[in-house]
Structure 1
Amino acid sequence: MPSTLFLRLLTRSAWSSSRGVFMPAAAAALPPKSTSIRRFGQTAGRSKAAGEDDPRLKETLGREIADDYATLRTNYASPKLPVVLAHGLLGFATLELAQLFPPIEYWHGIRAALEARGVTVITPSVPASASIQVRAARLAEQIAAAVPAGTPVNIVAHSMGGLDARLMASPAFEPELLSRSATAGRRLNVASLVTVSTPHHGSSYADHVIAALGPRRFERARGVLASATGWSDTGAFEQLTPRHMDAVFNPATPDHPDTAYFSYGAMTDGPPPLMSPFRVCHRVIEEREGPNDGLVSVRSARWGSYRGTIKGVTHLGLINWTNRLSWSVRKMLGQKETFNALAFYLDIADMLAKEGY
């Protein structure tokens, strides 16, 4: 998946030559075990896991969701309004690698599960790594082309898609920026926005990567990505730093008073496996922000009415990109599967229906 490949690129493209031994700069920049940098919620001189005794942790996590979405229920209510699924950074609606292989969906099986229960689903595709402003404009154009003027919609957004949707729904959004004449100047009616592990306050891993690579090597990494993928616009990366989100984007992007905002966060059960693309990311974010899903912390994911923290799932697991082999091994060891993405999104649809959307 593109986001997994890019994570590996960032952690391997810059190198440190300390003591004549080359190592990934992203890993080399991590503080050693004896560092004086404190983990989230950890006092000096302690070696306990991040936040173990911190009274703030429960407040941060809110409702802890352990296995509420482990299995599908028999009945789910369906919202009366269309549901827009907004993808995240480096995402897509459908990816076709070759004619011999079936197309890959970002919302792996989720759209089909919703449609099977009568939900009208729209899956726009915005520029993978463009700025929030560009992505929001493309998102608005595609939604406007899919629904009659004035039709309210629900948006369910994963990761950066939540930032695109927030800007598009905000009174600060300028519909005049839309490029298609049929939709130019048309403001969309967003009834509700549900964000899933969206970095509303940025991700400290973005800071880490930029600092570890340095300006020149960071630009080189972006160039490699652009050459490999054809993504010429990579304006998203600098915008995802905590400083930009809290000092620039959030103050300039007020919530719409007529839009209902809901959010979910997620966290893994301990460090990801050794070969996981999220292993380094998770450690960096845990030390700086606390519990996270490998890319976005729980604290950063909170916006509007916080519905809770899903435990034991990664950033990609939230969109059904779960390692089935891993779960098969766990089942052989007697462990139960605790998260089913289809059950999660059907429950979101059920919640929206019961809220009147």
Structure 2
Amino acid sequence: MPWRLSRLHAAPRAQWRPSQDKFTTRQLRPGPRYRSTSSQHQIDNQTNQLNRPNYNPNNEESLSDLGHKIVSDYAHLRPKYEIPKLPIVLAHGLLGFDELHLLPGNFLPGIAYWRGIREAYESHGIPCITTAVPRTASISERAQVLMDQISSKLPTSKDGKGREVNIIAHSMGGLDARYMISRLCPSPDLFRIRSLTTIATPHRGSSAADMLFRDIGPDLLPHIYRLLSRMKIDYGAFSQLTTKYMYEHFNRVVPNHPEVKYFSYGASATPHLFSAFRISHGLMDVIEGPNDGLVSVRSSKWGEYRGTLMGITHLDLINWTNRIKLLAGRLGLIEQTFNAQAFYLAVAEGLAKEGF
């Protein structure tokens, strides 16, 4: 048993609480809108209810609350999908990018974060915009760049006013989008967001991030931050993905916008022996329950939860499936139960049925 898990098993299995580790976190910048004390009190009460764990780790039935289990609904592409009225903006997660070129120039094809997803949308006539924000910057910094990119890439409507959009976000991209919607408040003259669909977004943080900071320790952490600063590498994102930060800071000051519809999906998988997610998955399974290796199902739930993708890891969700697994599926050695392009086309179709 890995030492991290043995240490967790040795601890009393009490009601789970967000991490109480003491480490430096960047405070979110105050938003532009004024709120009265009474309205802020209501928001605090709402977010407290949203953030409190709704299951007991000692209760197996509660731990396995996966909602609608999605097993093979998106195994294959269909010839036709309903097309949403509004364009889709894709927002990437931590360490993400739009397209990455390993060599200068265009000698080699770039590596896309949304592997084949944008092409699937375009082939079905769905307008799609991909964005690229600072990979490891704080949520507020990433959200500002996200807003600027949507504004610059989205063409204005015929009447000269801003257009309406749907946002689909993977992982941390969902937090960027929530902050942009709630705190930056894009002007209607720029664009208006009608819906936000988050996919494996850590709305309540990740215990994997908690363990990372616990292992580093408060003495070593300032030295690492100074080193990253000298290397001109942003580090604001890391501490903001902990359960403590999301519980005590982010969700208290980033309420849902009443005019935006929120949807979410989660994923649950059991990584194979050589998977990069094997250790983190085992840790999170003990603390938070079913997870995709980086984000738990419980943390993924926000707004209208549309289901849990079974047997899917955090990278499978953006079509970064292990090549050996893909080959085994094509040879018929294992059953293919998930096609990322089919999933995202179905998400777009769901938005179309909602009138978006």
Q: TM-score, normalised by structure 1?
A: 0.80
- Cross-structure match for 1:31: 6
Conserved 8 A contact 1:40-1:289: no
Aligned residues: 309
- Cross-structure match for 2:84: 79
Give the secondary-structure state (helix, strand or coil) at the position aligned to 1:194.
strand
Asked whether 1:165 is paired with 2:171, we answer: no
| Deviations, residues 250-296 of structure 1 (Å, cap 9, x unaligned) | 1101111110100000010x2x2233221111111111100000000
1: CA distance, partners of 2:280 / 2:312:
14
Q: TM-score, normalised by structure 2?
A: 0.80
Conserved 8 A contact 2:57-2:288: no
Conserved 8 A contact 1:293-1:315: yes
Asked whether 1:124 is paired with 2:131, we answer: yes
Give the secondary-structure state (helix, strand or coil) at the position aligned to 1:62.
coil
The more displaced of 299-308 and 92-101 is 92-101
State the AA in 2 paired with 1:118.
G
Conserved 8 A contact 2:57-2:287: no
- Cross-structure match for 2:254: 253
2: CA distance, partners of 1:274 / 1:122:
37
State the AA in 1 paired with 2:178.
R
State the AA in 1 paired with 2:61.
P
Gaps of 5+ in 2: 17-55
Q: CA deviation at 1:332?
A: 4.5
Query: Structure 1 pair 331/226, CA: closer, same or farther in 2 (3 Å)?
Result: farther
Conserved 8 A contact 1:266-1:311: yes
2: CA distance, partners of 1:235 / 1:261:
25
Conserved 8 A contact 1:88-1:157: yes
- Residue correspondence of structure 1 range 29-178 to structure 2 within 5 A: 29-32=4-7, 35-38=10-13, 54-58=60-64, 60-99=65-104, 100-147=107-154, 148=156, 149-170=161-182, 172-173=183-184
Query: Structure 1 pair 242/52, CA: closer, same or farther in 2 (3 Å)?
Result: closer
CA RMSD of aligned residues (A): 2.6
State the AA in 2 paired with 1:31.
S
Conserved 8 A contact 1:39-1:286: no
Conserved 8 A contact 1:265-1:309: yes
Query: Structure 1 pair 202/223, CA: closer, same or farther in 2 (3 Å)?
Result: same
Query: Structure 1 pair 250/52, CA: closer, same or farther in 2 (3 Å)?
Result: closer
Query: Structure 1 pair 194/221, CA: closer, same or farther in 2 (3 Å)?
Result: same
1: CA distance, partners of 2:298 / 2:172:
15
Query: Structure 1 pair 93/231, CA: closer, same or farther in 2 (3 Å)?
Result: farther
- Residue correspondence of structure 1 range 1-357 to structure 2 within 5 A: 28-32=3-7, 35-38=10-13, 54-58=60-64, 60-99=65-104, 100-147=107-154, 148=156, 149-170=161-182, 172-173=183-184, 188-219=191-222, 232-268=233-269, 270=270, 272-330=271-329, 332=331, 334-357=333-356
The more displaced of 141-150 and 335-344 is 141-150
| Deviations, residues 211-241 of structure 1 (Å, cap 9, x unaligned) | 01113444555667677xx662210111111
- Cross-structure match for 1:15: none
Q: CA deviation at 1:330?
A: 5.0
Give the secondary-structure state (helix, strand or coil) at the position aligned to 1:55.
helix
Q: CA deviation at 1:342?
A: 0.3
Conserved 8 A contact 1:40-1:288: no
2: CA distance, partners of 1:141 / 1:307:
29
